[in-house]
Amino acid sequence: MELIACQMVSSVDIDENFAQVDAQLSQWAKGCASPSNESALVVLPECFALFGGDATLNLRHQETLGDGPIQSKLSQLAIKYKVWLVGGTIPVKTHDPERFFASSTVYNPQGVQVADYQKIHLFDVDVADNTGAYRESDTTAPGQRVVIFDMQGITVGVAVCYDVRFPGLFQRLAAQGAQIIVLPSAFTEPTGQAHWHTLLRARAIENQLYMVAAGQGGTHANGRQTYGHSLIVDPWGEVLAEKNTGPGWVSTHFEQALIDKVRRNMPIHKHNRFTNELTQ
């Protein structure tokens, strides 16, 4: 199975952003040995379809889960390229008209939506960059569910961006059988420089699984600066592929045998006394 992380510099134009995704997947597909890519997992960045506008941009384009033009376009892309597609995040309606879910919707090669994850941890942080302060909770509602999905016998967990700073979520996903965790992201430039590689490698090492992190990577229309450096990390913490800045994609192959070897040689899940013994 092939793992693909697509990096973007998204704008406020949905059609332009989808054209960017389509161009990357078209380039990737030309290099495939087989016309059938149903064992490929493609991950798009956080806010891939809408980014760089004012605070109301996502509210103006929020959709009902399972119905809407952005979700329809994602389904069509999955069918066109015969891939499993993790659609970054899109704005999905909640009961509060002033707040949406940052939802990561997943599609199989037949274009069927097989999973949706609402970002649990919201980025309410002060950062020394062009934006200065982020208050995601002003317009975004936090999710409540841990989400995995089955991809032809392989268990994939879903997290988004700021979630990576909360190892408990990743431990829960691993406990539910995750062998891969996908992480659509839009890390800021300063926080990315400081912590991005360390956090991703740590989550992979701690849980002995693959991390596929697709990011935004450039300067956007509103001046926001995103770090990029989309990564694929293996269960031993090795960076297998990286795209530094600008749009583009990276890929590598998933190896179940490597996960089995790492977990067999260092059985940390069995050795973890906090989960196995010290329950009080």
DSSP 49-79: SS-SS-TTHHHHT-BBTTBSHHHHHHHHHHH
* Least confident among 5-14, 36-45, 111-120: 36-45
Q: Is 46 a catalytic residue?
A: yes
The model carries a pTM of: 0.96
Spatial separation of the C-alpha atoms in residues 38 and 30, rounded to whole Å: 15
Q: Is 270 a catalytic residue?
A: no
Which of 6, 46, 47, 189 is catalytic? The answer is 46
Judged against a pLDDT cut of 70, whether residue 151 lies above it is answered with yes
Q: Is 32 a catalytic residue?
A: no
Say what the pLDDT of residue 204 is.
Answer: 98
Can you point out the beta strands (E) in the chain?
Answer: 2-7, 40-43, 84-86, 90-93, 100-107, 113-118, 124-126, 133-135, 140-141, 148-151, 154-158, 180-185, 210-215, 230-233, 239-243, 248-253
Q: What is the pLDDT of residues 239-255, one digit of tens each?
A: 999 999 999 999 999 99
- Scored b (16 or more CB within 10 A) or e, 141-158 reads bebeebbbbebeebbbbb
User: Is the separation of the CB atoms in 156 and 132 below 8 Å?
Assistant: no
User: What secondary structure letter does DSSP report for 45?
Assistant: P
Across-strand partners of 140? 100
Going from N- to C-terminal start, the domains of the chain cover 2-276
Domain 2-276 has CATH 3.40.640.10: no
Which of 73, 82, 93, 119 is catalytic? The answer is 119
User: What secondary structure letter does DSSP report for 44?
Assistant: P
Nearest to 120 by CA among 138, 150, 97, 140: 140
Nearest to 76 by CA among 63, 85, 66: 85
Q: What is the pLDDT of residues 97-110, one digit of tens each?
A: 999 999 999 999 99
